[in-house]
Chains A and B, each alone.
Chain A
Amino acid sequence: MSRLPGPLVGLLVFFALGAAVPAAGYEGYHRLSEVEAALREWAGRHPDRMTLVDAGTSAGGHKLWVARLGAGAGAGERAAVFVGANVAGYHHAGTEAALDLVRTLLEDDAAAKLLGSVTFYVAPVLNPDAHDAFFDGVRARRSGNAMTVDRDRDGFTAEDGYDDLDGDGRVTELRIPDLAGEWLPHPEEPRLMVRRDSTAPSGGIGGESSAKGWAGAYRLESEGRDDDGDGRYNEDPEAGIAVDSNFPHAFAFPDEPAAGPWPGYAPEARALLDFFFARPQVAAAVIYGPANNLLELPQSLGGGGDPGTQKFKVPPEAAEFLGFDPEQEYTLDEVWEAAKDLPFVRRQNLTKEQLAQFLGAGPATRPEDDDQKLLERLAKAYEKRLEDARLDAERPVKQYARGGLTPWLYYQRGVLALELDVWGIPKPEKERKEGDEEKKLTVDGLADMSAEDFLAFSEEEVAAFLKEAGVPPRFSAAMAIERVKAGQLTPAQMAQMIQTGGGGGGDDPEKDDPRTRRRRDVLAWIDAHHPQAYAPWTAVTLAGGLRAEAGGLDPFAELAPPSAADLAAAIRVHTGTVLDLAGRLARVEIASLEAEELGAGVYRVRAVAVNRGELPTHTKMAVRSRAHLPVRLELAAGAELVTGQRAVTAERLERAGALRGEWLVQARPGATVTVRVVTETAGSDEKTLTLSRGGSR
């Protein structure tokens, strides 16, 4: 990579020196060195229950520490839960929650009991190079590690980063007066900048709207200078590969330069990939990060042909061969019904999944139906916990992004993986619904509705609502339902479409769209609870004497409350959620083992293995992706088989699901036979039986 031209280096050095005015704001959060010290101390104090696993090294040379908590010698073989925090780099509430989990597992007696049956892997900081950007220097969100990326592809690396123009120690926003600018102060809340379209009558620029005067318009940038003079602001900051964008599912190349050239390029991501492949026992994972998959269930990340849940076209050659119309779309089930008895499918012993692969159908893009139902169950329990703790279970939340750790864990590793954001700014009390009040089908209601809430309405109800809202009939209720079901449209997006499309309330220029309303709620909360997190617009001068103002929300205002102590209630809920999940993991055992003598020293041995846990041994996605070994019930070496194989397998055992084995064994009375059930994600069990005349139980 080329170097910066001399004058630019000078500028950067100047600002680095001039910047260090500490911003008011955040207390009690743990920086990297403190997290490491805490982990070391715990590991030293509880060597019987906790060991520190060195999972790898970041680009900047920091260790990726994972605390392994489990009692006794078999801890490495038991079913395990993984909890990882701050892979995003700017999610410090998660780190606090992860530390609390370790503390609870070591110090709370009830929780500690779990350590005999489940092993926990807890990693409080998975993106150590970015973690301390919250604490040091000019405060800005950082997602990248210490690698270098030429984000704007101009031949220079990290030559145009943020600058703290108003000297308040953090990067907020910059508004530059610009007649062609897209942004205006909100008419009622002038601290807030809104896109001119969102407050303007339809039509935007020109005509009558000009009369209202766009002279007050601004261009909006993040706070900083155009250091490299290319007309763009802060487009190439000093931050490398975004670790939480560097995993293989729905990887965002080439759209997002910070995602890196390929998945697993960042050493942190690669170390984690290796970590999970070396620990197939991990059955469930909770990632503490910016998204929340329980307040809003995961949506499609796009890409792929996904035959799992969507229709797809059969390639022409195969269509002819299978008797399908190449122009029509089919579900995988339809194709499988037609194909499963074909000689070539039977000869090759093809599974439905292999057929999908053969047809070039691409990767999964939505959770499998059974897994989705499981998430719905977990979501109910989670919301109840939040409500019991008097925390808001309705606040708007984010979805995980392409190339993230969480979607990789689910889609490719088959792990029951959730991302939880731990904390977020609540909705104003007055706007929250009562616990069991029905969700209403209104434009406002739609804006906050989850997909499954929407899908609970009948087609007639949706049709009536769409008519009421003034939606043109070409967008039918059936279409709306189908698109929400397919993950192509969220209820919130529909609400926005209705508003901007001239339907329900959109004609009122003073009416805020849902996003603006949320931003006003956030600002109101900040005023009441964390006033230092808003920086008033302050005049600054840019190169060439250009006047502008810096101001707006602190970059962490929506991610962390002013004091880590304010997280206590939320953290308790999340630690409780993890412990609850761990208590529900699948656990196989041999429920029965019996033998019957058929004559002449030949016995029929029968065994039944059962899943005693509440969760299935494998997610449906694990079955589809063949990410884990099947459940295996086998007759141990030693007994002599009359015929047949030693092992039977099942791809998945649901709650109380059973796997039966039957063997014909030749043995003398008094001999023993041992049967074992082996899994990766649900433990193992073994039973031995002594054979006697007639039979044994």
Chain B
Amino acid sequence: MKLSRIVTSMVLLPSLGAAAEPLTPAAPPPDPPFNRVSTYEEVTGYLEGYAAAYPDWVELESIGKSIEGRDMWLLTLNNPATGPDLAKPAMYVDGNIHANEVQGTEAVIYTIDFLLESYGRLDRVSELLDRAAFYFVPMVNPDGRARWFAGPSTAHFPRTVMVPVDDDRDGLRDEDGYDDLDGDGVITLMRKEVPLGEGGFRLHPKDPRILVEVEADELGDYVILGPEGHDNDGDGRVNEDAIGYVDPNRTWGYDWQPEYVQNGAGLYPLAIPETRSIALWALGKPNVAAAQSFHNSGKMILRGPGAKSHPRYPRVDLRAYDLIGEEGVRVLPGYRYLVSWRDLYTTYGATDDHFYRVHGAITFTNELYEAPTDLDGDGETSDEERMKFNDVLTLGRQFVPWKELDHPQYGKIEVGGFRQDVGRIPEGWMLEEETHRNAAFVLFHAHHLPKLAFGEAKVKAVGEGLWRLEITVVNERAIPSVTEWARQAKVHRVDVATVEGARVVASGLVDDGWLDRVELQDHRPERLMVPGVDGVASRTLFFLLEGKGEVTVRYDSLKGGKLARKVTLR
């Protein structure tokens, strides 16, 4: 049924009552910096600060312990005056599942901060917080974050959770990882000058910090020996068994596949406490209708399916995905809206597939940031441009100059290169914009959480004490109250409509009200099972009632909230 018909005939919504006022903090709220990334301890402090400042609105709980025993923080943000969280549509937001992808946490913290600060000041935020709840896990991989900050680390390492794995299958675990050869707290690269003809590289003629691959008719005198490290276990290989490797974003439950199908899967689905804590917690939150996971890098808004073999996304759900994803492309400059398996690579057991398939929540994975180092705008970044960015814009902060030292296996080598926070994380002066834009994307997504309201109610007498009631439920927003996937795959119960105060003789769904086409429910008419209300659409319910006077129609949607409307049979 078309929405337009109802919009023109009815007042849609009850008023929200008193205008929202800005929140008054019970204690000074935290003031996290958004021009740098913060450590696990600092982030813990911010979260505790929000809980202390807004005790009625913010609940901070530890939903489990990481492998090394750190708390898995989950922050619930809910306006208590408009009902408990479980009675409202909700959005789940997480970050930093990969140890090195740290600024996802800042995007989560920014979202929390912005919501609390803006309630009562910006109508759009007030409207959202009056009707929806939020769940935040800013640090999915607390040990990984702690380890990446403490170093030595690189832009890409560590990515894992801290579970020891025998990567080289020699019977020992994590026995040959990176070594900070020059003790500067950063793992950079090793290079070595070799007799002419033995290397694949030569020094850049104008900038000896840069190595250039030799042309087909050139001899080289440099080799690149990989990240700093030596052969710790004497097996003739360097850095082949570093910490981990279990990729926590391959450990989720939906269509998990083992190590031989994809590296980093771990022993079995949700075998690690980090993702298992979240998955078990989420089973108790059927109201989650939207989810977002922050990663880096590459400026992407990803959606599933993670693998070609997974079922395609049904049409009704794609409408919501595309609306939100395409808006994201407009508000996040340079970002592309992509399908994981088709446009990136195959993943099994990823967060977005799990939340969509197991919970029926519309879920995106954002890959934050891409270094703006293509200075001449030709579509590619050269080493020279990268060095110019370092020299001119960061005044040399990013690059650690080559330094000579003796290596136990390679002899005299040089160690140097870019710092760990270069390449995947914005410089401080760019971080706040990146986090704000991504927070805005989350709030746009949340804006489209299902928003249900009763529309027109039509009552008609059909006999002695027998009434025909038709009542419409409208979903104003883009996310269906039951995703088409959830209803096809039966992953959770659909919406339920009941009537109190009269006997329900028959019930059903109105297919076409003008032509009186009603699909009756064969059994149990007093509990009308409604396959949800699609995004920006309506659904008309039919009841044949025996009784008189005032009755209450209730609509109970796991993800769309609960409605009640009094109707008089006359």
Residues of A within 8 A of B (CB): 150, 153-155, 226, 228-231, 248, 251, 253-254, 257, 261-265, 270, 273, 277, 303-305, 315, 353, 357, 360, 362-363, 412, 624-627, 629-630, 632, 645-647, 649, 678
Contact = CB atoms under 8 A, between A and B. Distances in A.
B407 interface: no
Main secondary structure, interface of A, reads loop
Given A153-B490, A254-B490, A228 B524 contact: yes
A253 B257 CA distance: 13
A264 B496 contact: no
A647 B170 contact: yes
B490 A262 contact: no
Contacts of B269: 248, 262-264
B279 A262 contact: yes
B204 interface: no
Given A248-B269, A625-B258, A629-B169, A262 B234 contact: no
Contact of B254 (A228, A229, A253): A253
Given A226-B523, A304-B309, A362-B309, 11 more contacts: A150-B493, A153-B494, A254-B489, A262-B358, A273-B268, A277-B267, A357-B263, A412-B258, A627-B260, A630-B169, A678-B171
A302 to B, nearest CB: 11
B258 A248 contact: yes
A363 B253 CA distance: 16
Contacts of A251: 255-256
Nearest to B257: A363
B235 A647 contact: yes
Given A155-B496, A362-B307, A645 B253 contact: no
B523 A645 contact: no
Contacts of B309: 303-305, 362
Contacts of B523: 226, 229-231
Nearest to A359: B346
Given A231-B523, A264-B270, A362-B309, A645 B493 contact: no
A625 B268 CA distance: 13
Contacts of A254: 357, 489-491
Contact of B258 (A270, A315, A363, A645): A363
Contact of B261 (A226, A253, A363): A363
27 contacts: A153-B494, A154-B493, A248-B256, A251-B256, A253-B253, A253-B358, A254-B491, A257-B490, A261-B283, A262-B269, A263-B253, A264-B268, A265-B253, A270-B268, A273-B268, A303-B309, A305-B309, A353-B260, A357-B260, A360-B346, A363-B257, A363-B260, A363-B261, A412-B258, A412-B268, A625-B259, A629-B170
B358 A261 contact: yes
A231 B169 contact: no
B308 interface: yes
Interface in B509-557: 522-524, 527, 529
Nearest to A264: B268
Q: How large is the interface on B (under 10, 10 to 19, 20 to 34, 35 or more residues)?
A: 35 or more
Nearest to A255: B489
A273 B261 CA distance: 18
Nearest to B491: A254
A262 B279 CA distance: 10
B279 A153 contact: no
Contacts of A627: 260
Contact of A231 (B258, B494, B522): B522
B260 A360 contact: no
B341 interface: yes
Contacts of B341: 360
B236 interface: yes
Interface string B227-260: 0000000111000000000000000111111111
B262 interface: yes
B180 interface: no
Contacts of B494: 153
B50 to A, nearest CB: 31
Contacts of B271: 264, 273
Interface string B251-293: 0111111111111000111110000000100010000000000
A632 B170 contact: yes
Contacts of A264: 268-271
Interface in B452-509: 489-494, 496
A224 to B, nearest CB: 16
